[in-house]
Amino acid sequence: MNRFLFIASLLLLSLSLSLSAQPSKQYITVYAEPDHSDWVYACGESATMTLYAVKENVRMPLTDIEYSYGPEKLKAEKTGRVTTGKDGYARIKVPGRKVPGFTTVSVSVTWDGKKYSGMTNIGYDPEKIEPTTSLPDDFTAFWEDAKAKAAQVPMLVRERYAPEESDDRVDVYYVRIQSYKKGNYVYGVLSVPKTEGPKPAILRLPGAAVRKFSGINPLAYEGFVVLDIGVHGIPVDQDAEMYRQLENGAMSGYVLKGIENRDTYYYKRSYLGCVRAVDYLCSRADVDASRIACYGGSQGGMLSIVTAALDQRISALFAYYPAFCDVTGYYYGRSGGWPHLFLDKSDPLIEQKVAVSKYYDVVNFARFLTQPGFYAWGFNDIVCCPSSTFSAYNVITAPKTLKVARDTGHWLYPWQTEQALQWLKAQFGMEQ
């Protein structure tokens, strides 16, 4: 497959994992430019921010810019207005944070009655951010028991060959695998290269939402057996209207279902379903079970870290802007990861829910990773904010590589996905 087309396809896959995609270009773009090129400051160090607006590639002189700054995703500490000079620039001072974390500087311009906005997240010793969540004493025992019970459930695999989606290089199958409990299934799409012998495999894990999966995963053209799965226990090959109805009906707010109890929380089935998907890959004669990776973005990044922590048969992972990292952040007065739980402290069950979240928080799985991992995100991600993702990354003791594109939000640049692929090939001895 043409290299450019592959990278473009992989980027589109990564974007489809996101909760929100890269925004379209605005007529006026408003910038808050830090005086540190890496956007990183030491705790207590103030930042000088240069504010300007660009219309049709020209800076706008003598233009009012409204600004605010404060802790990431929390109430602004200061708001104000400045006017750009004849050169189109204005400058403000942002005081340093006392503890590691991120400060959001938001800017906007109103033009012809329409408001145009921008933001920059500057980091204060991000590599020193510590999580707010804590590790339950019986965390390992809880998950070992859950895995042992799930392992007793037979897989009862069904496969359906899809010739209309296959081509001369890759075969496509729709699969159903029994998981977790009798009558509970993992559904997915399998892409198998038409080459001889066992091949390295990748488990692709989905972003949030309820959706259809179909067709060849482009990574199959690179020599990998690829299994794309859903984690909701519903078929992945149905009409789009069905998924729309589920997302707006029975599946609405699924991330909150059962959170009052660690045994009934929605993600228990999802986490164990990911392990069952590894069981399936390892059962295939065309898969080299010593070379299995997992990857995903957002919820998929969350599931990648969790799956690798739960299953040592995963030998490498790459996770993009992982969700569900340090979700107790808001409970303790700072930003937390998607899905932004515990904002309502009047909830009478909040302490119970916080306790349950600790068994599912990516931070606590990240502590147990042993496999090498490739990670990527941006400072301007307002969905899986960097305070949360750094909270997880900083507790990882396994070999790790982080590629930050600071100006990205909940999306990636092509170079990040290309480097992830080359990194994985090196891990699996597939260098060309």
Name 189's Cβ contacts closer than 8 Å, sequence gap at least 6.
Answer: 172, 173, 174, 175, 213, 214, 215, 217, 227, 228, 236, 237
Which one is catalytic: 191, 315, 381, 387? 381
pLDDT at 94: 98
The pLDDT value recorded for residue 24 is: 66
∠ CA 363-367-410, nearest 5°, is 35
Please, what sign has the CA dihedral across residues 143, 306, 266, 340?
positive
pLDDT for residue 312 is more than 80: yes
Which one of the listed residues 191, 270, 298, 387 is annotated catalytic? 298
Mean of pLDDT over the chain: 93
pLDDT of residue 193: 98
With b for 16 or more beta-carbon neighbours within 10 A and e for fewer, the 196-235 pattern comes to eeebbbbbbbbbbbbbebeebbbbbbbebbbbbbbbbbee
Side chain identity at residue 325, one-letter code:
C
Q: Who wins on pLDDT, 290 or 209?
A: 290
- Give tens-digit pLDDT for 226-255: 999 999 999 999 988 999 999 899 999 999
pLDDT of residue 75: 95
Least confident among 15-24, 48-57, 123-132, 393-402: 15-24
CA distance 428 to 40: 34
Per-residue pLDDT at 25:
78
Collapsing DSSP to helix, strand or coil, 49 comes out as strand
- The string of pLDDT tens digits covering residues 282-308 is 999 999 999 999 999 999 999 999 999
Task: Check whether 19 has a pLDDT greater than 80.
Answer: no
Where do the domains of the chain lie, and which CATH numbers do they carry? Answer: 28-128 (2.60.40.10), 133-427 (3.40.50.1820)
Q: Quote the percentage of the chain above a pLDDT of 90.
A: 91
Q: How far apart are CA 432 and CA 425, in angstroms?
A: 9
Mean pLDDT of 350-372: 98
What value does the mean pLDDT take over residues 123-144?
A: 98
CA separation, residue 158 to residues 28, 165, 186, 190 (Å): 53, 18, 11, 12
Task: Indicate if the alpha-carbon torsion angle 370, 376, 381, 387 is positive or negative.
Answer: positive
| pLDDT at position 92 over 90 | yes
Average pLDDT, integer, range 165-184? 96
Give the confidence band of 9 by pLDDT, cuts at 50, 70, 90.
very low
- pTM for the full predicted model: 0.93
Helical spans, DSSP H, in 100-161: 139-151
pLDDT over 50 (residue 220) = yes
Please indicate whether residue 381 is annotated as part of the active site.
yes
Identity (one letter) of the amino acid at 57? N
Confidence of residue 23 (pLDDT cuts 50, 70, 90): low
Position 344, amino acid: D
CA pair distance 163, 161, nearest whole angstrom: 6
Asked if residue 256 has pLDDT above 90, the reply is yes
Average confidence (pLDDT) over 216-220: 96
- Strand ranges (DSSP E) for 90-243? 90-94, 101-111, 114-124, 158-161, 170-178, 185-193, 199-204, 225-229
What pLDDT, on a 0 to 100 scale, did the predictor assign at position 432?
A: 59
Question: Count of CB atoms within 10 A of residue 276's CB?
Answer: 22
CA distances from residue 294 to 202, 203, 414 in whole angstroms, order as listed: 5, 4, 19
**Which among 9, 106, 228, 410 is annotated as catalytic?**
410
| 288 belongs to the catalytic site | no
Tokens at residue 127, please? Answer: 């590599």
Catalytic: 298? yes
> Is the distance from CB of 197 to CB of 180 less than 8 angstroms?
no
Query: Does residue 42 have a pLDDT over 60?
Result: yes
17 pLDDT more than 50: no
Q: What's the chain's length in residues?
A: 432
Write the burial class of residue 35 (CB in 10 Å: 0-12 exposed, 13-18 middle, 19+ buried): middle
| pLDDT surpasses 60 at 163 | yes
